[in-house]
Amino acid sequence: MIRNTETSWGSIAKLMHWGIAALIIAQIVLGLVAVGWRLSPTKLNLFIWHKSLGILLLALIAARLLWRFANPTPRLPADSPGWERRAAHASHALLYICMFGLPVSGWIINSAANVPLRVFWLFPLPAITAPNKALAETMKLVHLGLIITLCVALAIHVAAALRHHFIKRTDILTRMLPGRATST
Ligand code: HEM
Ligand code: HEM
């Protein structure tokens, strides 16, 4: 099944969920390695990879959100309490805010620091702000704050998925896994 139904995630949503999850984790590692590397041509290349992958992620995340709006979202189990529904909704919204905020704040850092942006050595992207040192410094803090928020939200997200699987014994986790088409 390509599309979502009221009870299950389709293959496109699953592919985007796990593909983007893997790329975000690689991107966090790449960002930390690039920041920690000594000043050298390798550091510059690590940053070109980081910025390019970040822009690619921005496009993938936008496509994912559009796909989500164009499809039904599978329902939570009928006996889920109201707080659990609200918590699921709020944590997914927070994950999306971080997923968009990170590449956008990164692009603003780059623009405000007046550094040219080339995506995978292929094509340039324009600056989205005028050069402004103070803005670049503020956006570095925003970028870091969003990383910390994303990591906390992700820890809650994974804990909730594992709680559903091992404690509540619902199929919330298995219905997001590849190859499982149906759900109750
Ligand atoms: C989902 C996308 C992204 C994630 C998860 C991410 C993650 C990270 C991480 C973990 C760091 C190291 C921690 C820090 O010092 O802030 C970092 C730093 C940085 N990122 Fe990103 N990033 C993303 C997108 C981007 C994009 C699209 C750009 C630019 C076009 C960018 C530019 C930067 C810059 C310039 C730094 C160094 C900041 C500093 O010197 O403090 N990032 N990022
Ligand atoms: C960076 C990593 C991750 C991000 C950003 C992320 C984000 C999201 C978001 C936004 C949703 C809501 C549905 C959607 O719009 O696609 C979702 C659903 C889900 N995620 Fe993740 N996720 C990540 C990693 C993981 C991991 C590691 C697990 C497993 C332990 C997991 C398990 C699930 C499950 C089971 C659902 C389905 C919930 C339901 O059916 O109602 N996610 N994820």
The pLDDT score that the predictor gives to residue 181 is 54
Q: Helix or strand or coil: residue 125? A: strand
Whether residue 59 has its Cβ less than 6 Å from ligand 1: no
Whether residue 177 has its Cβ less than 6 Å from ligand 2: no
Measured in degrees and rounded to the nearest 5, phi and psi for residue 57 equal: -60, -40
Whether residue 105 has its Cβ less than 6 Å from ligand 1: no
Whether residue 62 has its Cβ less than 6 Å from ligand 1: no
Model-wide pTM > 0.85: yes
| Dist. CA 168 → ligand 1 center (Å) | 37
pLDDT in tens, the chain (184 residues): 999 999 999 999 999 999 999 999 999 999 999 999 999 999 999 999 999 999 999 999 999 999 999 999 999 999 999 999 999 999 999 999 999 999 999 999 999 999 999 999 999 999 999 999 999 999 999 999 999 999 999 999 999 999 999 999 999 999 999 986 554 4
The pLDDT score that the predictor gives to residue 179 is 81
C-alpha 101: how far from its chain's center? 9
